[in-house]
Structure 1
Amino acid sequence: MDFTERSYRQDHRQEDLVHFQLAVRETDLDIGIRKERFTSELVEWAAEIIRDCRRPLEDYIQKDPGFASSLTPYTVLPDAPIIVKRMAEAGRLAGVGPMAAVAGAVAEWVGKSIAKRSRDVIVENGGDIFMRTSRIRKVGIFAGDSPLSNLVAIEIRPNQTPLGICTSSGKVGHSLSYGKADAVVVLSPSVPLADAVATATGNLVQTTDDLERAIAFASQIEGVTGILVIKDDRLAVWGSVKLLPIKA
């Protein structure tokens, strides 16, 4: 088990929460919980939750390697574990491969487990977030070289949560994208779905002329509650997305 740091995480931490990082193989999480709930025992328990999440996924991929390599919707075996089925369903709805939902699926699994011990939980996995909150929070949007980067935030209210807030970019990060969006943010109660739809929507954006088409695509997917797309100096929004300025 490793404790690692990503520089962008410092900018988005919540002052009322304790944040800690856990890395188990490829999974690298930033976890925020209520201060009174934080203990070293909880950290060890959370690391075990990550291992419990990864184990059935890794075992399934050994049995059905096509699941991990497919870039299109994939039919899984009838006895597939629940996390595999949730990833496959998210990929089917978004029209992409199931691994497009892996970061969101892990964030959700870990977040829901920790939510049994802390009323406020934020789990961030490479830009994909599970959030449950008892207070209004702001999620800042990093959009690479766009002039809109770090200028706006999405307001998240308690009654919207638990919520997935997932980001895809054709310019930032290591995740596969066929598009050139600076940032695509998708909101959904299903974190795997938000993750997969963010990827699929980002694939559609090559120029600012594609913003309307991208919004039209994502907004018709059942379970999506909000969308934000940034390309260069243009921004498009749909659904339950309240934008707030970030003060310099």
Structure 2
Amino acid sequence: MEYVKRWYRQLMQVPELVSFEVKIEESDLFVMANVDVQEKVRELLERERRNLKAYLRYHPEFLNSLEPLRVPAFAPPICRLMAWASEKAQVGPMAAVAGAINERVFEGVKEEVKEFIVENGGDLLIVSSCSRVVAIYAGEDSPFSFKLGIKLPPGRWGVATSSGKVGPSLSLGKADAVVVISDSAALADAWATSLANLVKAKEDVEKVLRISENAYGVQGVFVAFGEIMGVRGKIELVAL
């Protein structure tokens, strides 16, 4: 996989938090926390990658399936989390991998941190005692990129974006961006892929917003398609 420079990270600095990157093969995490937990995050990322790769060695279908798959009770926790999220959103397990890694890493450090933000290929897990604003990026040609942000209240949030035009991740749709907010990063990741797959024309934007109203675990959705923007759920948009 060709490495893509995460240029947007220059815009993500939060002065009161310690920031660092942890890169292992395809995984590239950018973390901000109230204390320096870089070595712990590296250990956790190594563990989760090792567990996932071990499972894939004997279950290669888990890597390539575009549909949900059941996993045995003895499967690694990250695989069970991916399978659960993908079943809810009706996509393949790997659609939830970035969000699942974010969640599993946080579970390993949550006793040590009060503020924690991890970005993994554009997918975020945010645990914060204050409001945070996430900028929307829908490609260089979108009228919404870096013009709008989503203001999240204090708490724990998963934020994931899927696009048919931006980034290396597989999308069967043509949306500039579908952003999903959930209290689970893995669910947000899976649903972003699932909903973005359905956006192939401007007429699909409203359909996807209606589907999102009953999507398990989804708190809010933002859709960008050309000049069209749609919002549904608990999303507060702010001008940047």
Calculate the TM-score normalised by the size of structure 1.
Answer: 0.91
Whole-angstrom CA distance in 2 between matches of 1:48 and 1:184? 32
Which digits, 9 at most, give the CA deviation of each residue in 1:154-212, with x for residues without a partner?
Answer: 00111xx2110111111110000011111111111111111000001111111221111
Task: Give yes or no for contact 2:212–2:232 (8 Å, CA) kept in 1.
Answer: no
Task: Give yes or no for contact 1:167–1:183 (8 Å, CA) kept in 2.
Answer: yes
User: Are 1:150 and 2:143 an aligned pair?
Assistant: no
* Stretch of structure 1 that moved more, 234-243 or 111-120: 111-120
Give 4+ residue runs of structure 1 displaced > 4 Å after superposition: none
Whole-angstrom CA distance in 1 between matches of 2:61 and 2:219? 31
Deviation, 1:220, is 1.3
More helix by share: 1
5+ unaligned residues in a row in structure 2: which ranges?
none
What SS does structure 1 have at the residue aligned with 2:142? coil
Which letter maps to 1:240? K
**Residue of structure 1 equivalent to 2:23:** 23
**Residue of structure 2 equivalent to 1:61:** 56
What SS does structure 2 have at the residue aligned with 1:217? helix
Match of 1:197 among 191, 194, 199: 191
Calculate the TM-score normalised by the size of structure 2.
Answer: 0.94
Whole-angstrom CA distance in 2 between matches of 1:204 and 1:83? 27
* Identity within the alignment, %: 42
Whole-angstrom CA distance in 2 between matches of 1:175 and 1:219? 25
**RMSD of aligned residue pairs (Cα, Å):** 1.3
Deviation, 1:137, is 1.0
Whole-angstrom CA distance in 2 between matches of 1:20 and 1:106? 17
Deviation, 1:5, is 5.5
What SS does structure 2 have at the residue aligned with 1:153? strand
**Residue of structure 1 equivalent to 2:235:** 241
Task: Give yes or no for contact 2:181–2:218 (8 Å, CA) kept in 1.
Answer: yes
**Residue of structure 1 equivalent to 2:160:** 166
**Residue of structure 1 equivalent to 2:128:** 133
Match of 2:178 among 163, 166, 184: 184
Task: Give yes or no for contact 1:162–1:189 (8 Å, CA) kept in 2.
Answer: yes
Which letter maps to 1:24? I
Paired residues for 1:51-130 under 5 Å: 51-130=46-125
**Residue of structure 1 equivalent to 2:206:** 212
Deviation, 1:221, is 1.5
Whole-angstrom CA distance in 2 between matches of 1:115 and 1:245? 32
What SS does structure 2 have at the residue aligned with 1:208? coil
